[in-house]
Structure 1
């Protein structure tokens, strides 16, 4: 047990009013024990007021470790446990499910009442102490080390009689001038936790999960549900701007939890970025979250944590240690009542599978671009409902590639325009804030139509899809490097176990656009490639899955998981040659089909040029 803290640890502790107050209270309670006086090993049970128990956990850890990294301790050498509040119960017995063991070190068990402590632990304990709440002397000392204005003893004594949150808040307040004793008993308005997920539009794929976890947390708070039955780890996957960070913030607000926000990049940039610095920063973020009585820990850029299946060269040792430590911290944190971990990434397939397994970040929510109705609702929300979603549809229906972040930016610009006019936001302000659009030449529109009809005809030929809808754009947005000139939607027929023929047909559908251009114009444009998610990107990845994962190539080979076929996958020259052969063969087959259908292809493309949209119902 550490009687004195080094200067650095003391300075850090003194900035945390709650931790410092409980450190004082714990030292006062333990001062007469052999464990404190002579540093002997043993079991100490501390009875702490329920409001202070989580602050006591943080202080007890500091008292026992002196501020050293918690990674030094394994499950059987952890120096501090919280019982009674940890809703990890044996089935139907309502008591803590842990083993009492005789330690060769010091261990503190924190409980809010003796009735919540197993009889076996009471008998095994070397000492049971009652930890009083921080007193006036502790409050005066805390204000002194915080460098705050002095207060008199009667005011400190009055503060000490208040609930924990008021004690901590007033202890850390810079000035208490003019504060009378009556003020202390006045109700304090709870801070507005906004926005909440239930107030936000969008997030369709996550709605059911959020509703379930909100109900579970409510039952956990009422001691009706053990924390182990609550979903506690979730991974958000989606392109930039789809609202992953806002999701975590709104989830915390929905549950009444604190948000602890960090990123793998922040850990890597800590201090000099050495392995020890990285691990220490990571541990600090988890410690911050688990020390609270309810927290959502957001870890952004989670793909940067690495994947042990792709580690090579000099960085393997570094990355292996980082992933291993992250797994340990995640497992421990999710066991702590009130801790939820939200990982966010643009590239879910680059994350180590052990992180994503059941018991860790087991719930995977894919956030895609919002649908037509959602776009209007999101924009209306950011415009403070000054315009209804129905009124905004004429604008948002044309913004099919807009992310929630784009819509928020549009709302800011529209509100700024309204402020300049000194008026409420109108649809005119929204339209004026839209990015400039440039009309596409008719020759370009014609090529786009041919391209999209090529996809549609190959879908019809494949017998894989029904109700094909096509639309093309007449304008391009100025300054945007990647744009959606047209799109084909079709409902896939159910196929629980696709066969090789079905997968090759999908490749032909993806190649249908560029093949149609060559059939009609004798040349191809760059419209089939150039970015992730393009026609060629999807066709190439599916071909690699065929030969490297599904065993549907020349040999019965499994080389890599289907979800690992991405930019980091390094195929052998032999594998590349086989994929090139598949793509070339299917492209020839696609051209042959479209050549036979050239008259129909040109007729449908001409109709699409005129109407800009088309629906084909095969039923």
Structure 2
């Protein structure tokens, strides 16, 4: 991949659209391109909304932000702005972008193609510098993105105009058809259908010598064909997602949704005789914290595959009779038999971690539980040998499962679902809001609720609607924000401690470059004092990665000690706490990963949430070694926080003021203050 002279990544030529390059003449306007015309209509309406024109917005010295409706509109809007905004300028004064995902150092233009890979701290800092220079020089500046969090915040805050791209309306589509075909259409086009149109569909529907009615008919046919995948959040939420679940309406579980859509396609191919059942992937373990949407996924999977959903669980089977083992086994067999008779079908086993690991049970009724697990395995093997039954199991703690459950041929594919990041929370909130607050930007609410689960988002919307009903009016964004804020009743002192703690995690994450910072929030999610969300840190651990992750885990507590002069119990608690996570990781390094210089290559077992406390209690030597590893990592965390104390203080202050920050915002704050930290150490 090529780089610019300042080392920033450049989009490969194979990925470039069919647009003029930076040194080419823009060429004539393409009046027959429906996407270009649609972008012109939408931008014209956005400009009219703020009371200005393209000529005024494109003047030198004007800073413009364009909030795109979706990432798929990035290229059309960029194309239109490049052609129209600088149409009268000399060639050397025109756009000189090179289709950078972030920005080109030689032009005051920042284009974010999709909010999936935010810029690094250095890129944001350099971007802020470039735009400051451009503004001071009186140059035209523009930034466009589907997610404004991926634009330099200096650019966003200094914008003279902020244009919000609206949705296409039925009237827009009729006008578009008339401009393309040179005649009026005899039929109408619904607004909700128009809002679903994408640049791809607008172009796919176009034919030479086509009548306006024929173009509209083709658009309707394409929408119907793409109905499962083209749903726009504003219209897809017209009915509750729990009433009409489909995989396309789930957000924040991309890997699981992708697997489910592939399954739906494979089942369809089996029905058509194009694929045999043996080729279908039919066993999935879905793990994740409570409220992350595992049960909803099973319902959406069955609806998307258009097959029945049969469900059961350990507790449901146990409660089906008098509590005797015979009643439990009878109920379990009945559920599996129902699935076989209903095939093709989805069989969903919830809370499968309620079944014990036969290798760890030691109590007096261990034989009872062993027989139950054996019976479950026998039923699963029966499903494997019967066509048409796809087994989905959900749990909170996959490391507690009996290894036989996840061997090949059973639950042999494992997908972990985590709490959604703010971008995914936007989609979840939109689903639950339906037509309420249509067209409003939900990112601020999603950011304020960072760390919330999908179930939390549903509860927040329900509470916001209750507020609106009590006030006797329509739902307002203030209701949603108030509902999010009401969950936190902490004192100013506790909030300060939480802010310092989370700021320590963030600075350590950015300084050590482990994962991608998504958001940081003081929201007390799941009883915690705050949350720092990262992504992209998975993969094979090196010794350096291992050390860095330990430091990041302990940096919150270190931040309390350095900045507040004392530590609190905030780093401790249950198995999801910082201390538990650090202890688990340190033990793994000593006993199972071969990353400890003292134990070397000796493998003595991988601890789980259940076995870790017992391992440390029974082996004082192991506990002492793990303590040494933790103490060394904590010492490094203290040194890092002391070095960057100014940045930690600045970030904590911003968190106290805002409550939550996008990853890019937090990174920008740290970048501005990190250089001052060494002088303060």
TM-score by length of structure 1 reads 0.61
Give the 3 Å change call, closer, same or farther, for CA 568–294 of structure 1 in structure 2. Answer: farther
Question: Who is 2:111 aligned against?
Answer: none
Question: Who is 2:246 aligned against?
Answer: 196
In structure 2, runs of 5+ residues without a counterpart are 1-241, 656-660, 676-681
CA distance, structure 2, for counterparts of residue 355 and residue 513 of structure 1: 37
CA distance, structure 2, for counterparts of residue 216 and residue 249 of structure 1: 18
Question: Who is 2:571 aligned against?
Answer: 528
Match of 2:458 among 391, 401, 408: 408
CA distance, structure 2, for counterparts of residue 576 and residue 309 of structure 1: 23
Give the 3 Å change call, closer, same or farther, for CA 495–221 of structure 1 in structure 2. Answer: closer
CA distance, structure 2, for counterparts of residue 593 and residue 198 of structure 1: 42
Question: Who is 1:187 aligned against?
Answer: none
Question: Who is 1:312 aligned against?
Answer: 362
Question: Who is 2:147 aligned against?
Answer: none
Query: How far apart are 1:332 and its partner, in Å?
Result: 1.2
Give the 3 Å change call, closer, same or farther, for CA 232–460 of structure 1 in structure 2. Answer: closer
1:55-94 matches, cutoff 5 A? none
CA distance, structure 2, for counterparts of residue 294 and residue 330 of structure 1: 15
Query: How far apart are 1:387 and its partner, in Å?
Result: 2.3
Query: How far apart are 1:485 and its partner, in Å?
Result: 2.9
CA distance, structure 2, for counterparts of residue 193 and residue 446 of structure 1: 42
Q: Deviations over 1:493-538 (max 9, x none)?
A: x874523x54244323322322333344442111211132221011
Match of 1:246 among 293, 296, 309: 296
Q: Is residue 591 of structure 1 aligned with residue 640 of structure 2? A: no
Verify the 8 A CA contact 1:448 1:472 in the aligned structure 2. Answer: no
Q: Which moved more, 1:239-248 or 1:416-425?
A: 416-425
- State the structure with more CA Rg: 1
CA distance, structure 1, for counterparts of residue 251 and residue 552 of structure 2: 34
Query: How far apart are 1:261 and its partner, in Å?
Result: 1.7
Question: Who is 1:266 aligned against?
Answer: 316
Match of 1:285 among 316, 327, 335: 335
Q: Is residue 358 of structure 1 aligned with residue 401 of structure 2? A: no
Question: Who is 1:482 aligned against?
Answer: 527
CA distance, structure 2, for counterparts of residue 589 and residue 378 of structure 1: 38
CA distance, structure 2, for counterparts of residue 233 and residue 495 of structure 1: 23
In structure 1, runs of 5+ residues without a counterpart are 1-191
TM-score by length of structure 2 reads 0.55
Question: Who is 2:122 aligned against?
Answer: none
DSSP-derived class of the 1:240 partner: coil
Q: Is residue 498 of structure 1 aligned with residue 519 of structure 2? A: no
Q: Is residue 558 of structure 1 aligned with residue 607 of structure 2? A: no
CA distance, structure 2, for counterparts of residue 469 and residue 195 of structure 1: 27
Q: Which moved more, 1:253-262 or 1:387-396?
A: 387-396
Give the 3 Å change call, closer, same or farther, for CA 207–315 of structure 1 in structure 2. Answer: same
Query: How far apart are 1:226 and its partner, in Å?
Result: 1.0
CA distance, structure 1, for counterparts of residue 546 and residue 458 of structure 2: 39
Match of 1:224 among 255, 265, 274: 274
CA distance, structure 1, for counterparts of residue 568 and residue 357 of structure 2: 37
1:421-460 matches, cutoff 5 A? 424-434=474-484, 436=486, 443-455=493-505, 458=508
Give the 3 Å change call, closer, same or farther, for CA 591–482 of structure 1 in structure 2. Answer: same
Match of 1:578 among 622, 631, 634: 622
Q: Deviations over 1:518-559 (max 9, x none)?
A: 344442111211132221011110122123323535475433
Q: How many residues align?
A: 419
CA distance, structure 2, for counterparts of residue 235 and residue 529 of structure 1: 29
Question: Who is 2:64 aligned against?
Answer: none
DSSP-derived class of the 1:343 partner: strand
Question: Who is 2:650 aligned against?
Answer: 607
Question: Who is 2:560 aligned against?
Answer: 517
Q: Is residue 385 of structure 1 aligned with residue 430 of structure 2? A: no
Q: Deviations over 1:289-342 (max 9, x none)?
A: 111132211111100111122122323322221122111111211332221111
CA distance, structure 2, for counterparts of residue 382 and residue 467 of structure 1: 28
CA distance, structure 1, for counterparts of residue 472 and residue 508 of structure 2: 54
Q: Is residue 207 of structure 1 aligned with residue 257 of structure 2? A: yes
Q: Is residue 549 of structure 1 aligned with residue 549 of structure 2? A: no
Give the 3 Å change call, closer, same or farther, for CA 596–210 of structure 1 in structure 2. Answer: closer
Give the 3 Å change call, closer, same or farther, for CA 451–601 of structure 1 in structure 2. Answer: farther
CA distance, structure 2, for counterparts of residue 488 and residue 252 of structure 1: 31
DSSP-derived class of the 1:261 partner: strand
Verify the 8 A CA contact 1:262 1:299 in the aligned structure 2. Answer: yes
Give the 3 Å change call, closer, same or farther, for CA 418–498 of structure 1 in structure 2. Answer: same
